[in-house]
Structure 1
Amino acid sequence: MSDTQTLIENRPPSVATLFLERVAATPDAEAYRYPVPPASGEGPDDWKSLTWAGTAERVRAIAAGLIELGVQPEERVALASSTRVEWILADLGILCAGAATTTIYPQTNAEESAYILSDSQSRVLIAENAEQVAKAVDQRAELPELTRVVVIDAAGVETDDWVISLAELERRGAARLAKDAELVTERVAAITKDQLATLIYTSGTTGRPKGVRLPHDCWSYMAKAIAATGLVSGGDVQYLWLPLAHVFGKVLTSGQIEVGHVTAVDGRVDKIIENLPVVRPTYMAAVPRIFEKVYNGVAAKAKAGGGAKYKIFQWAAGVAREYAKAAQDNFRRTGTASVPLGLGARHKVADTLVYAKIREAFGGNLRACVSGSAALAPEIGYFFSGAGIHILEGYGLTESSAASFVNPGEAYRTGTVGKPLPGTEVRIADDGEILLRGPGIMQGYHNLPEKTAEVLEADGWFHTGDIGELSPDGYLRITDRKKDLIKTSGGKYIAPAEVEGRFKAVCPYVSNILVHGADRNYCTALIALDEAALAGWAAENGMEGKPYAEIVAAPATVDMVDGYVQQLNEGLQRWQTIKKFRLLPRDLDVEHGEITPSLKLKRPVVEREYKDLIEEMYAGTREA
């Protein structure tokens, strides 16, 4: 048996156990950094630190406080908060009490929050602030099993016997521990690997969300498997901003506990650009939309700088892609990432002019990024690779604890999601669907045995619903969602995500795009533009200061986007090409339910919302 197999197969039953082992091993090492905004509301944040011992003190108090409230093993404690250090402390407290965390996105409306609280039978809700507390108060009559609400930021919240502050919960927990010092240690020791740890409700594209049951063993396995990849080490600094209510953010906390590196936590997306030079991370995880925004921002800035600057950027972008492809191809053949001499010389010039500034914007220390949740357009991936920002694409689902595949360090291949994590099996079904089996797979959907049976076979194989291809040496390429494949009326199959990804690499002003064409005789697209990126172009074209809706309605804007659509079409098969498009009057967003909190497009919602625009593009044509 290999060292990796031994590491994984001898894993403890829970991450709660791993956490206590980590605290015992490195009590004085830095565990977390978190921002404290200035009291005046102006100026930079003050970043504070927690050691592993300091983290453990708070986690034990939270765990004991929950036990004092009567929370029993496997009972659910809901957590409705944005990404902040208290989310991690609360989650670890719940796990160390032997209970299970029900995650709720802070953007979730009161009705759906109440559904999740009710369906999960959550006993306690840990809410971020007054806004989250109000949702529970409004629905209290529908939630008889919810015995208490604990609020992290109690400003503006009227506390009483039903609503208490997190500080009060910790005070009660500390008092309980003063009488029974081994209370939490005993709860952790009693956890079994099959005990429920997390209930994550998939945001889904249709219908009610489904609760995915993930036992303690899933997270213990993920922690060990991530460590076994060798992608992270104890000396790393991770910048964690992803939603922790999403499985992608959550799995990053497990890997960190096993490895013991520092994590800087701040979920404010509008602070990412400001935080990166302060945190100076060695690695971070993100969704493709973030890399798309950075790429579009750099391209738009270069364009706004004048023709000469934009030509330099375009040249440098071409060199980056050529360099990345050559380096990756050579590494695949020989094990070294060498490139031809002339290309290396051009790359060195481009690095001085363009790439070095991009790396500095990421903090200057970034060794690698992990991208997941949706497909990254390969041309954007190659650009960053050539610029020295190495994006390791990974793949997984809520039902597989997030991390089923990841690209292996230096041997990464842009356009693939890498190889399976140690201990995870994969096979491709006859229809191209990816099937997974291993310790990261869910127990099933909460209270939905029929839905579970639809995707989980008796022998453990999970049907992902994604279509993919495996290379002879084990790299996986995702083609599309099985249900999202388009079949035109001419019988041709099209993967819309592939076309959409290509357009994002071509047009620096796009925010979201939806390609439509199922049962039609040609493809069309709904396109939303990025307001920030568009502002510079608008100013150059006599529309400075005008509202977004007015800019996108202008003929000049339509002509500009049409140029990029034609550029896209040049690289597509005839049946894939976009024959018509419409610019949307606003960007797609979470609030309107058009994208999920993890920034995935909800196709049915968008197609329903803009049905008239779609029909308009097919008006007067004869459908075959």
Structure 2
Amino acid sequence: MGDFAGSSFDSELLTEKGSGIYGIVGAAIVALLIPVLLSMMVARKKKVKQRGVPVEVGGEPGYAIRNAQIPELVEVPWKGASTMAALFEQSCKSHPQDRFLGKRKLLGKDFVTASDGRKFEKLHLGDYEWQTYGEVFDRACSFASGLVNFGHNVDTRAAILAETCVEWFIAFQGCFRQSITVVTIYSSLGEDALIHSLNETQVTTLICDSKQLKKLSAVSSSLKTIKNVIYFENDGSEKDSGVSGGISNWTVSSFSEVEKLGKRSPVDPSLPSQNGVAVIMYTSGSTGLPKGVMITHGNIVATAAAIKTLIPNPGRSDVYLAYLPLAHVLELAAESIMLCAGCAIGYGSTLTMTDTSSKIKKGTKGDVSVLKPTLMAAVPAIFDRVREGVVKKVEEKGGLTKNLFNIGYKRRLAAVEGSWFGAWGLERMLWDAIVFKSVRAVLGGRIRFMICGGAPLSADSQRFINICMGAPIGQAYGLTETCAGSTFSEWDDPSVGRVGPPVPCCYIKLVSWDEGGYKTSDKPMPRGEIVVGGFNVTAGYFNNPGKTSEVYKVDERGMCWFYTGDIGQVYPDGCLEIIDRKKDIVKLQHGEYISLGKVEAALISSDYVDNIMIHADPFHNYCVALVVPSHKALEKWAHEASIKYEDLSELCNKAEAVNEVQQALSKVAKAAKLDKFEIPAKIKLMPEPWTPEAGLVTAALKIKREQLKAKFKDDLQMLYQ
């Protein structure tokens, strides 16, 4: 209907006044106009919007593009906001009475005992309690003063080791009021990586949630520079009784005590510079010990300012759901964008997100049901789970519900993919009311835009979420080294599988990789290694000049370029698609090159697959795979096939189950047009999920290839016997 809504039909021709000669004339005019309007619509559909355009830049020769809408690179959201401290202060003073940070009130806890004797915590949560921009600014100032009074030396670094919450954000901003560099560490990081991160950066003050205190106590003898510990109270509870002894030589205080200390004795702020290092962010890393990426204030501000221009009208009426780790650059960038736009941020968690989440007490609503967010960010694994849950519900209901869903989905799919008849507003409203309204309630019912990053999102999942949630997905491509955002798919781009044009704060360049056969001269689209240059490119790796010099290059114009190792191709409209990764390419025995990441991205779309790792031994001419199956899908098949088993481990070892999953993978592989040698010849089903806590996937749920290869070395060897 959108194309017709602006058409100015003469209303009199469609009323009783149009009877007789007027009616005949009117009918004739309408009859003549309709084909014209339809042809105009088709012409509009065919017109391709230019989203990225070629640009002349310095550095290594290649094919470079910039955002088509904004010719000059964006550095700040407005004049004067060149650091995170300035952005925070100015935004808080612009919206002093608007709600800013919210968290749910804990009403009670219960423990449920499972059949195997294990106890599970269930939470009874109330409504969101909000603090305004003005109140949050005052708390951050108090915490900053409290840090100094507590004994933190402002010339040393502080670290935050905690799950995402209101206090994390306030501590973060408080540190910047005193120009303190913050080291961010995943709460799920293993002991060795934790010790390495804290010792390498010589952190003197550690800010954490109370449940981390036991972990710290266990490794305290290995931490060389820690002097102070500040913990977030868990809704007023005292610090864990297990902290005495191991950390008795540290000064320990609660977050609220430090705030009160600062409120009683204010300290003048010492604000940072644009090029000052705001964050040393330790990646969870897919290999070895994590690297600390030095992110400047200018990097974060430029990313927030640039991506804000690509989200449709973000502002004070928007509510953002925050639940991803703030130690991950995706969530840090997303919350910085919300701050920049004056939005409200409500905190939740993956364990309390929906009404059926594992930590939600029966009868208590999940975070999305209470918050009803309009904006959210997610990694692909979250979207895949939402899709799996919706499909499961539809299958369970069956009958008329299933038929209506399938018809509605096909009609909406036709609309999104360009069939003009499916775009009529009345039909869309009908299907929304009959089918998709209840589906959208899964995420609160008000989502209007979503950000996806951290890993590639499959085309099928992207399209499914687009249709069922009725909201576009801004699929981001970037790395910690580029402060999250390098490209971002635009809200009005109906395509899937691409990651959009460059964000307005940087350039994207493709550099030929002859060894892999990717060249910028390739037709019909230039291909090559993706190189990013601009205001979002970070300052390098902390205390690692050798690794920094390998992937960061400064050109003759003074611009720094980061070599990502990813392979991309650029479409004629200036949008980027990720097609390969240099490090994931293995040469097989007969000379064929196989891209492990590309194959994994294709096969993970199978209904049977929860996670997958492709492995290729260069001394053989085929690849194999470790597959974590979807428990629900595999058990459903076993029930329908009358396969008897005691537990999932037994089912995963049954030849029938292995054969069923392997056949399904072959079908998906053929549909994705993979070559024969790219289809795993043998697979092993793994009953236990791969989790960040086990060190097998990152916090963004990307597989850690080397760790998986080491843990399942014997299984991989067996597959090649």
Tell me, yes or no, whether TM beats 0.5. yes
In structure 2, do the counterparts of structure 1 residues 114 and 294 end up closer, same or farther at CA, with 3 Å as the change threshold?
same
Output one character per residue of 1:359-395: Cα deviation in whole Å (capped at 9) or x when no partner: 2212111112111010011121122223324222101
Q: What residue is the counterpart of 1:477 in the other structure?
A: 577
One-letter identity of the residue aligned with 1:293: R
Superposition deviation, residue 322 in structure 1: 4.6
Name the structure 1 match of 2:700.
Answer: 598
Q: Conserved in 2, the CA contact under 8 Å of 1:323 and 1:344?
A: no
Alignment correspondent of 1:441: 537
Q: CA deviation at 1:61?
A: 1.1
Larger relative contact order (CA 8 Å, sep ≥ 6): 2
CA shift in 2, pair 1:294/1:450, >3 Å: same
Pair 1:427-2:516 in alignment: no
Is 1:198 the counterpart of 2:279? The answer is yes
- Secondary structure of the corresponding residue to residue 492 of structure 2: helix
Write out aligned runs for 1:79-478 (5 A): 79-129=160-210, 131-153=211-233, 154-157=238-241, 162-177=251-266, 180=267, 183-184=268-269, 187-188=270-271, 191-231=272-312, 232-272=314-354, 274-305=366-397, 321-324=413-416, 326-327=417-418, 339-340=420-421, 351=432, 354-387=435-468, 388-411=470-493, 413-431=495-513, 432-459=528-555, 460-478=560-578
Judge which range, 573-582 or 395-404, deviates more: 573-582
Q: Percent identity?
A: 28
Q: Residues 348, 564 of structure 1: CA spacing in aligned structure 2 closer, same or farther, 3 A cutoff?
A: farther
1:503 shift after superposition? 2.8
* Distance change >3 Å, CA 605–CA 309, structure 1 → 2: farther
Q: 1:421 to 1:27 in 2, by over 3 A?
A: same
Is 1:23 equivalent to 2:54 in the alignment? no
Alignment-derived partner of residue 608 in structure 1: 710
Amino acid at match of 2:184: T
Give the greater-gyration-radius structure (CA): 2
- Which secondary structure state, in structure 2, belongs to the residue aligned with residue 464 of structure 1? strand
| Inter-partner Cα distance in structure 2 for 1:428 and 1:162 | 51
Q: What residue identity is the alignment partner of 1:438?
A: G
Distance 1:255 1:521 in 2: 48
CA distance in 2 between counterparts of 1:151 and 1:144 reads 19
Report how far residue 67 of structure 1 moved: 1.7
- 1:8 to 1:345, Cα distance in 2 relative to 1, 3 A: closer
Q: 1:221 to 1:275 in 2, by over 3 A?
A: same
Unaligned runs of 5+ in 2: 1-69, 111-122, 356-365, 514-527
Paired residue secondary structure (2:554): coil
Q: SS where residue 45 of structure 1 aligns?
A: strand
Q: One-letter code of the match for 1:395?
A: Y
Structure 1 counterpart SS, 2:498: coil
Which amino acid in structure 2 is aligned with residue 20 of structure 1? E
- Pairing partner for 2:611 from 486, 497, 512: 512
Shift of 1:401: 0.7
Do 2:76 and 2:82's aligned partners in 1 also have CA atoms closer than 8 Å? Answer: no
In structure 1, the residue corresponding to 2:438 is in which secondary structure?
Answer: helix
1:393–1:414 Cα contact (<8 Å) kept:
no
CA distance in 2 between counterparts of 1:315 and 1:280 reads 27
CA distance in 1, matches of 2:592, 2:408: 36
1:242 Cα shift? 0.7
Q: Is the 2:588–2:616 Cα contact (8 Å) retained in structure 1?
A: yes
Alpha-carbon deviation of 1:9?
A: 8.2
Structure 1 residues 339-375: Cα deviation after superposition (integer angstroms, max 9, x where no partner): 3459999977765664333222121111121110100
Q: SS at the partner of 1:613?
A: helix
How far, CA to CA, are the matches of 2:496 and 2:293 in structure 1? 30
Q: CA separation in 2, counterparts of 1:63 and 1:197?
A: 15
CA distance in 2, matches of 1:389, 1:508: 23
- The reply on whether 1:582 has 2:582 as its aligned counterpart is no
**1:361 & 1:289 partners in 2: Cα distance?**
16
What residue identity is the alignment partner of 1:58? R
Q: 1:142–1:582: structure 2 CA closer, same or farther, 3 Å change rule?
A: closer
1:339 and 1:282 map into 2 onto residues whose CA distance is: 28
**Cα separation, 1, equivalents of 2:638 and 2:425:** 37
Counting matched residue pairs gives: 598
1:374 match: secondary structure: coil
2:628 is matched with 528
Bigger fraction of residues in helix: 1
**TM-score, scaled relative to structure 2:** 0.77
CA contact (8 A) 1:243 1:267 kept: no
- Judged with a 3 Å threshold, the aligned counterparts in structure 2 of structure 1 residues 306 and 57 are, in CA distance, closer, same or farther, namely same
> Residue 309 of structure 1: CA displacement?
6.2
Contact 2:98–2:316, Cα closer than 8 Å, also in 1 = no
Are the aligned partners of 2:128 and 2:370 in contact in 1 as well (CA < 8 Å)?
A: no
Amino acid at match of 1:458: V
Deviation at 1:139, TM superposition (A): 2.9
Q: Report how far residue 546 of structure 1 moved.
A: 4.8
Deviations 1:249-307, CA, capped at 9 Å, x for gaps:
11112111111111111234453452222211111000000111111222233334458
Q: How many Å separate the matches in 2 of 1:445 and 1:151?
A: 28
